[in-house]
């Protein structure tokens, strides 16, 4: 589908939200750390800002650039990705049913496992790549379809347009977690998603030093206003400095992300067929089960790879422990390469294979990454 953004992503990332009211006319907006704002000389509040939990100049700047990059009408920034998806779940009416993909970030599923009953929400998991199975999974009270593409950690690709079509026929809303793909590679709203979720801690922040999340809405409608109300009234808002840091990082995001795409593709090709590797999950590989769908809705294939090691738990741990350049850590999306034995980081209900390593490919020189992989696998 044609990209409908007025400007190209690089220009949006650098300039959107950079307007400010500082008398110094600085190119970089200042950090507005004040928690409150002065009322008018007549004694009443007449400006855009009252209290920083409700609104803050730096948060407005961040929300502006995020909604423009995703092609939405509105955005609400949160203190974390979990806080963002939590707001979506809480905005769905009581007694609703939610559909989740089989492969999904464990933190999103854990919210419903731990609090779904308290919020009077039911949920089921279904392989959303099987459209017939998806159609059969809908109930009369299904109100939300949450999808993640590429998925975490198996890098499965869901056809956003087809899932959105089925969901809308059943009067359900679609929320797409776009953290792995990022706005450079996919814009879910273009394919029919109603909401887009991001853990801004990952590629948008890009330096492993900011915690944040966001929900971008295709329409500034009643559902979004409910999400916005939770953001403000429950108070899970990012600090002004974190918003400022994210805006700073986003200015270089498109070029960083291209580097992640390029390195990951070459690393996946190196790993594919390696005798110590049973299987490589990367949507850019021609032998990936969902490669054709990925080509349809992605401009690049991202920086995440998952691999199955030829061996058991102990063999897999030896590989993870054997790297020198690739750091052993949870989370992803930083300029440095990290990997982990994924199942160890997930909940007791995890179905992730015990020999799977999730690999966030960074921006180091490709030769150094390949050499490190040879040592770890050897």
Q: Please say whether the beta carbons of 177 and 147 come within 8 A.
A: yes
CA terminus-to-terminus distance, the chain: 44
Q: What is the mean pLDDT of the chain?
A: 94
Helix or strand (DSSP H, E) at 111: helix 106-115
φ, ψ of residue 103 to 5 degrees: the values are: -100, 120
Task: Look up the CATH architecture of domain 253-377.
Answer: Alpha-Beta Complex (3.90)
Predicted confidence at residue 3, as pLDDT, reads: 43
8-37, pLDDT tens digit by residue? 999 999 999 888 777 778 888 888 888 887
CA atoms within 13 A on the CB side of 95: 2
Q: What is the pLDDT of residue 348?
A: 74
Domain 9-250 shares a fold with domain 253-377: no
Q: Count of CB atoms within 10 A of residue 44's CB?
A: 7
Distance separating alpha carbons of residues 311 and 319, to the nearest angstrom: 10
Q: Residue 353 pLDDT > 80, yes or no?
A: yes
pLDDT at residue 44 in the model: 65
pLDDT tens profile 58-113: 999 999 999 999 999 999 999 999 999 999 999 999 999 999 999 999 999 999 99
pLDDT, position 1: 40
* pLDDT mean over 306-328: 96
CATH number of this structure's domain 9-250: 3.40.640.10
Report whether the peptide linkage leading into residue 153 is cis, meaning its omega lies within 30 degrees of zero: yes
**Looking at the predicted structure, is the pLDDT value of residue 219 above 50?**
yes
The pLDDT assigned to 43 comes to: 63
Domain ranges of the chain: 9-250, 253-377
| Residue 347 in this model has a pLDDT that exceeds 80 | no
Q: Please give the structure tokens belonging to residue 57.
A: 């100049």
Higher pLDDT, 49 or 282: 282
The residue with greater pLDDT, 35 or 363, is: 363
- Show the beta-strand stretches assigned E in 199-282: 213-217, 277-281
pLDDT band for position 198 (cuts 50, 70, 90) = very high
What span, in angstroms and rounded, lies between the C-alpha atoms of 112 and 46? 41
Distance CA 208, CA 169 (A): 40
- What confidence tier does 349 reach under pLDDT thresholds 50, 70, 90? confident
Taking the model in full, what pTM does it have?
A: 0.94
What's residue 11's pLDDT? 94
Residue range 142-166, pLDDT digits in tens? 999 999 999 999 999 999 999 999 9
Task: Tell me how crowded residue 149 is: count the other CB atoms within 10 A of its CB.
Answer: 30
Q: Which of residues 53 and 182 earns the better pLDDT score? A: 182
């Amino acid at each position: 589908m044609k990209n409908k953004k007025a400007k190209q992503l690089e220009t949006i990332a650098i300039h959107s939200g950079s307007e400010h009211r500082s008398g110094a006319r600085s190119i970089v907006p200042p950090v507005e750390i004040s928690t409150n704002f002065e009322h008018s000389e007549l004694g009443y509040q007449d400006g855009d800002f009252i209290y920083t939990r409700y609104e803050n100049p730096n948060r407005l700047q961040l929300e502006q650039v995020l909604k423009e990059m995703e092609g939405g009408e509105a955005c609400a920034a949160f203190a974390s990705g979990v806080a963002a998806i939590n707001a979506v779940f809480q905005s769905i009416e009581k007694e609703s049913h939610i559909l989740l993909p089989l492969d999904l970030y464990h933190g999103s599923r854990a919210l419903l496992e731990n609090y779904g009953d308290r919020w009077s929400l039911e949920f089921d998991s279904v392989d959303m790549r099987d459209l017939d199975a998806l159609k059969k999974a809908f109930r009369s009270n299904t109100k939300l379809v949450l999808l993640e593409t590429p998925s975490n950690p198996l890098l499965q690709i869901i056809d956003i347009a087809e899932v959105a079509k089925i969901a809308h026929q059943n009067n359900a809303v679609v929320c797409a977690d776009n953290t792995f793909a990022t706005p450079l590679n996919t814009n879910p709203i273009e394919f029919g998603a109603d909401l887009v979720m991001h853990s801004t801690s990952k590629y948008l922040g890009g330096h492993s030093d900011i915690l944040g999340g966001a929900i971008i809405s295709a329409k500034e409608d009643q559902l979004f206003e409910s999400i916005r109300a939770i953001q403000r009234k429950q108070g899970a808002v990012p600090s002004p400095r974190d918003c400022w840091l994210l805006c700073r990082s986003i200015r270089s995001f498109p070029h960083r992300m291209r580097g992640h795409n390029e390195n990951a593709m070459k690393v996946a090709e190196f790993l594919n067929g390696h005798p110590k590797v049973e299987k490589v999950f990367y949507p850019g590989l021609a032998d990936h089960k969902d490669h054709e769908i990925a080509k349809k809705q992605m401009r690049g294939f991202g920086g995440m790879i998952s691999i199955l090691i030829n061996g058991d738990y102990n063999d897999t741990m030896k590989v993870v422990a054997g790297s020198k350049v690739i750091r052993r850590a949870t989370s992803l999306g930083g300029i440095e390469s990290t990997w982990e034995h994924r199942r160890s980081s997930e909940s007791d209900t995890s179905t992730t294979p015990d020999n799977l390593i999730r690999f966030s490919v960074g921006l180091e020189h490709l030769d150094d990454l390949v050499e490190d992989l040879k040592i770890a696998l050897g």
